[in-house]
A = this chain, B = another copy of it.
Amino acid sequence: MLIILRQGDALKDAERVRAFLARSGLEASTVDLGDRLALSVVGVNGSPFPANVESLPEVERVVPVSRPPRLAAFRDDDPPRGVRIGDRAVGAGRFAIIAGPCAVEDEGLLLEAAAAARDYGADMLRGGAFKPRSSPYSFQGLGARAYEMLARAGQETGLPVVSEVMDQASLSAAVECIDLLQVGSRNMQNFNLLRLVGRSGKPVLLKRGMSATLEDLLLSAEYVLSEGNQSVILCERGIRTFSGHSRFTLDLSLIPALREVSHLPIVVDPSHAVGRREGVPPMARAAAAAGADGVMIEVHPDPARALSDGAQALRPEDLARLVPELRSLVAGAAPLRETGA
């Protein structure tokens, strides 16, 4: 951490700031920048550093020199292992295709979707039980009952199942039925929920908030990781921008940016971002080509009858065409990490 002082009576100022830091147990050495002084504090890793140094009158700016160590951060001696969900894996060279309806609506339709997912080569089955909806008057999902239907559909097809949890109550119901716990975009900074899923011992799929930066997303992952749960998968699902041709703007360049700072796998949800069926396969292919570790795709046996987001759901035959395209894209991809400077 480098503390750049304002121009002024620099030596006295440096003394005062050094005394302030000493109260937090920190030692600082003086650095001469030519036209002003700075103080260099080594061995500080973000958390205990007093955030208010920057508001001292003597201080112009505080510049972090090294990144703070993070549980989400890539370490060279520890190659990515991916996250295991049942007998499947995401990351470390395994590309996961998660498919299923936006919301579980009835058991028959779910089994139909699950069979299509299995038959056409998906790796996991998704389905919403509790739906966080902007309006209290919209369909809110079938609740805990849907977790049980998912569990049965998973057993029948051999696919691990993914579903969102929203609080302690839904988590308690999900933990017996669901293999991969999803934390939705609207809850990405629901820090209590992050701690709860961290303690659950189950793998977690953490969706990026619609206005979250890469740093925000990693810090939210840190809440889960710091509870001792290493099985965290991130999910890009589009951000809020002025651009109106898609519901959200899918920010695929998050993928290479993430590779430079974290070992966590990342999957992409093109369905919610694009919001129209026609745009989903191109963006799923783009995600695979950009180096994602998987995609999450909405599929419905009869989109026109879907109670929620039917316009963006693929039909089973669309999935049948898309899966081999994605597998072949991933097979042909160059290594994710570029060499050299």
Q: Which of B191, B241, B245 contacts A133 (CB 8 A)?
A: B191
Count of chain A residues near B, Cβ 8 A: 112
Inter-chain contacts of A289 with B (CB < 8 A) = 282, 285-286, 288-290, 329
A residues 161-211 near B (Cβ < 8 Å) are 166-168, 186-187, 189-192, 209-211
Contact A134 B290, CB 8 Å, known A65-B4, A242-B211, A249-B253: no
Contact A282 B256, CB 8 Å, known A31-B33, A167-B192, A190-B187: yes
Inter-chain contacts of A306 with B (CB < 8 A) = 52, 55
* Chain B residue at minimal CB-CB distance from A261: B245
- CB-based contact B46/A135 at 8 Å: yes
* Chain B residue at minimal CB-CB distance from A166: B192
* Chain B residue at minimal CB-CB distance from A273: B253
A residues 311-341 near B (Cβ < 8 Å) are 311, 315, 318, 321, 325, 328-329, 332-334, 336-338, 340-341
Contact A135 B329, CB 8 Å, known A253-B249, A304-B52: no
Min C-beta distance of A87 to chain B, whole Å: 29
Q: Determine, out of A34-42, A93-101, A111-119, A142-150, the stretch whose residues face the partner at the interface.
A: A34-42
Q: Determine, out of A78-86, A121-129, A152-160, A218-226, the stretch whose residues face the partner at the interface.
A: A218-226
**Which A residues are within 8 Å of any B CB, using their own CB?**
2, 4, 29, 31-36, 40-43, 46-47, 51-52, 54-57, 63, 65-66, 132-139, 166-168, 186-187, 189-192, 209-211, 213-216, 219-220, 222-223, 226, 239-246, 249-260, 270, 273-274, 277-279, 281-283, 285-291, 303-311, 315, 318, 321, 325, 328-329, 332-334, 336-338, 340-341
